[in-house]
Every structure is written in C-alpha cells, then in structure tokens.
Amino acid sequence: MPVRINRLLSAALIGAGLSTAALAATTQSLTWRGDVVTANSVVKGVAKAWQSSGHGSVQIQPFNTASGLDAVAGGSADIAGSARPSSGSGPDSGLSFTPVAWDGLVLVTSPANPVSNITLQQVHDIYFGKITNWKQVGGNDAPIDVFAVASPGDGVEYSLRKLVFGRGSQPVAAPRLYVNTTQLEQSIALDPRGFGVTTLSSVAGNGKIKMLHIDGTAPSAGTVASGTYPLFVPLYLVTNPSSPNASAAKEFVDFALSDKGAATLRSHSLVPYQAGGSLLAMDDSRRSRILAEVGAHASSEPTQIASAPSRVAAAPAIAAARPATPAAPALAKVSGAAVAVTQQSSLKGVRGDAFTQMAAADRGSFAKVTSEAFVSHAKVALAKVSAKAVGKTSGVANKVDGKKKIASVDNQPAQSYRVGAGETLYSIARRHGVDVAQIRSWNHLKDNTVRTGQMLRIESR
C-alpha cells in the first residue's frame, strides 16, 4: 500500500508539473510588430480577447510591414502583421504567413474634395503619372497631391501596386512619402487635393477621410465580402517557426482564426478569412480582369522586397504598362528618405520606390530624384525634393515680350511668378514642372512657406 501511495503521489506531482508547464505556455507574453493597419484592425482587438480568455499579454509595436518582418526574422518579435503575402526572399524567407482576414484597399481623399468616384483605369493612371489634375477625373482644376508610404515592403502599397500594375514593387508618381499609413491618413485629411491608399478597416467611420467609390461601388464590409468591390486583399499574421516562442505565437494565430477572433474581426469591418471562400476562388480571375482593364500585365518581382528596417530595396526599373501610352521617364536612380518626428525607430536611409512625375509626359529621363518627407501634425506635410545645385545666378534682369526675365549664368531664362491665394510651394512646382527644392534654391527660401502675393523666381527647364 505505501508503495502504491508513493506511486500515486509521484504521478500527481508529475501531472501537476505538466499542468503548470502548459499554463505557463498559454500565459506567455508575446511581442507583435508590423504595419499600423493590421495593428489597429486585427491585433489590438484579438489581443484583448486573447488576454480576457486567460492567455498572456501581447505587446503591440505598430510601425510598418518591413520592420515587423525583420523583427520576427531576427527574433526581437514573435508575430508580425502584413497586408501582403510572402515574397519568398529576404526577411520573408523561412517565415510563415497565415491569412486571417480580408480587407479592402481604399483610395482616399479629403471630404472637401468634390470627387467621390474614380475608375480602376484612373487609379492606374494617377499612380503612373498620366493623370495629374483633379479636373481630369471630374474634380476641381487643381493638381493631385499623391501620397504614398515610403517602402515597397509596406503591405498596403505593395498590394495595391500588385493589383493595378502587376507587381508590388512598381514605382509610382508620388513625391510625398510617409513612414506608414497613419501618417499618410493624417495628411490626407488636411489636404483637399490629397490622394493615397489605405484600408477600409483603418478609416471606416472616420469622418475626416473620404473613401472613393471604384467604378461606382462603395467600399464596405458587405461589398468586400461579396467581391463586388474589386480591391480586396488578405491580411496576414506572420510567425517564425524557428523562434523559441513559436508554439505560443501559433496559438495566438489559431485564436485569431477561432470564432472569438472572427467576431472581433467583423467588428472592425473585416471579413474573417474562412468566410471569404468565394473571394479566394475568384482571386486569380479578378486580378487578370483588373490588369486587362488598365492595360497592364503581371511581371516578376525583384529578388528582394525588403531588407533591414533602415534600408528597403528599391525596384530596378519601371514595369511595362499600357504600351499605347507615352513611356514614363526612365529612372537611373531613385531613392527616398522618410522621417517621422513622432516615431521612436530610426528610418535613416530608408529607400522607397517613388518618383516625381514632371508636367510633360515627354519630359525625358532624369538621373536622380531624392525625396524626404517630414511629418507634421500642425499642417499638411510637404515633400522636400532635393536636387543638385542648378548653377549660380547673376541677378541680371531683362525685358522679353513684356515679361520680366532674369538671366542666369548658364543662359537659362527665368521668370517672376506671383503666388496666388491658396497656392503652396508644392503646387507651384507642379504647375511649372520643377522641383520644390529648386524653387527654394532660386529664391533662397529657408522652408516651404510662401505667402499670397509673394514674387518667386522660376527658371525654365
């Protein structure tokens, strides 16, 4: 009997130890890092439900897709969020991408903008640089201020470009770069000429942002679920099978796919992935239909979409699209740096696939375009496009055809321009087909501020 009691006691102690170990696994703290969209629409709600169900806490570090994938690959985070699938290379290699929800990509502008509907063709042409004025899409006679997130590794930007250009690394005519969609949305809300892409789950119910209809269809959870809204994409949770916390991270992903997780997703205007079987079935035909409609075709991606958080590889060349239209300017070297004053992480040296499209379609190639976006919450952030010095001016004035002309040392004529009401340095640069930094250099301006009635020197290109 004593022997039997000892055996029973030992078994009980072993069982208790196993239970304790299992409990420790389920209450383990996890770290999530990734794009802001997935953080707000998926992770925050699911993490709250996860913790209230007796599991451990989740530390959420929203920033952007590239930083999240790097963190999971490097072991500083357990889970990442992404609005794009794996590229199969770079930091994506070896990571597990699990789709958990369907979201809609939405093109947004300010509620002050009268335009409410655009076509897929117009979306393509705006990003391609063929359409540059709101008047061309039924709006006011004003330049379209195209905003974009600085990295092609950003899931939202990547997914939109994949749909309308055939590859996610496609360069676009967006001189204003931001570190993530939150910064982009804040500037869109303040600029009636602004235009950019974010997700339905990120701006649904936000009265400061107008979501544009696509070919007459409004973005909503219902139109995404039915597939009638064409720009739907999966959102992913990303884990590293080699991570020490891989088991706990997988439990979290499984919880997001459970009934409790699905209820949380629906409350954020998302469609649970399992409920979107019809979307998965129509995905290939939908992509082919969009590309055929805009005159583009799918093409291969670069071998690496993103590297370290401080460096994102740029696409080597512009993809072939709409052969019947004039070719876009050749890009010998394109880079962009984005700095957000409110972010803790450094983005020094971030490279982005964005270029400044000149006013004339046949402007020709330009060797190097660099852009820096500084985010300000006090006013609309303006892109500061840096360029090499264009030569010293002599300051000699002449009269030509009744207009005041200023001769420069390289014999390039220049004219004076009076700033009109409501104009910005950016809109003036777009009007004359020059860079913001060039106007600043010609006029010795310390910043991008101009006032109504101010006279500016504008050189011919």
Query: What CATH number has the domain bearing residue 444?
Result: 3.10.350.10
Alpha carbon 10 to its chain centroid, in Å, reads: 58
Same domain, 61 and 140: no
Quick one: CA torsion of 157, 158, 161, 166, rounded to 10 degrees? 180
Query: What pTM did the predictor assign?
Result: 0.63
pLDDT higher than threshold 50 for residue 400 = no
Whether residue 11 is contained in a domain is answered as: no
In terms of pLDDT, which residue wins out, 172 or 397?
172
CB 113 within 8 A of CB 134: yes
Whether residue 359 is contained in a domain is answered as: yes
> Which of 52-61, 158-167, 181-190, 373-382 is predicted with the least confidence, judged by mean pLDDT?
373-382
Q: What is the mean pLDDT of residues 148-169?
A: 86
pLDDT higher than threshold 80 for residue 415 = yes
Confidence of residue 20 (pLDDT cuts 50, 70, 90): very low
Q: Which pLDDT value is given to residue 207?
A: 93
Cβ partners under 8 Å of residue 30, min gap 6:
56, 57, 58, 59, 78, 79, 245, 248, 249, 252
User: How large a percentage of the chain has pLDDT more than 70?
Assistant: 68
Closest Cα partner for 317 from 171, 177, 174, 125?
171
d(CA 182, CA 340): 11
pLDDT higher than threshold 70 for residue 459 = yes
Same domain, 217 and 350: yes
Same domain, 151 and 182: yes
Same domain, 336 and 420: no
Same domain, 205 and 338: yes
For residue range 31-51, list pLDDT tens digits in order. 999 888 888 888 888 999 998
For residue range 236-295, list pLDDT tens digits in order. 999 999 999 999 999 999 999 999 999 999 999 999 999 999 999 999 999 999 999 999
Same domain, 130 and 179: yes
Q: Which pLDDT value is given to residue 428?
A: 82
Same domain, 199 and 304: yes
Same domain, 316 and 217: yes
User: How many domains in the chain?
Assistant: 3
Same domain, 295 and 441: no
Report strand pairing: 213-214 vs 455-459.
unpaired
- Most confident range, picked from 106-120, 172-186, 377-391: 106-120
Whether residue 16 is contained in a domain is answered as: no
User: How large a percentage of the chain has pLDDT more than 90?
Assistant: 41
Same domain, 122 and 188: yes
Whether residue 111 is contained in a domain is answered as: yes
For residue range 350-368, list pLDDT tens digits in order. 333 333 233 333 333 323 3
Residue 316 corresponds to which tokens in the numbers above?
């080597």
pLDDT higher than threshold 70 for residue 457 = yes
Residue 150 structural domain: 105-232+283-383
Same domain, 78 and 114: no
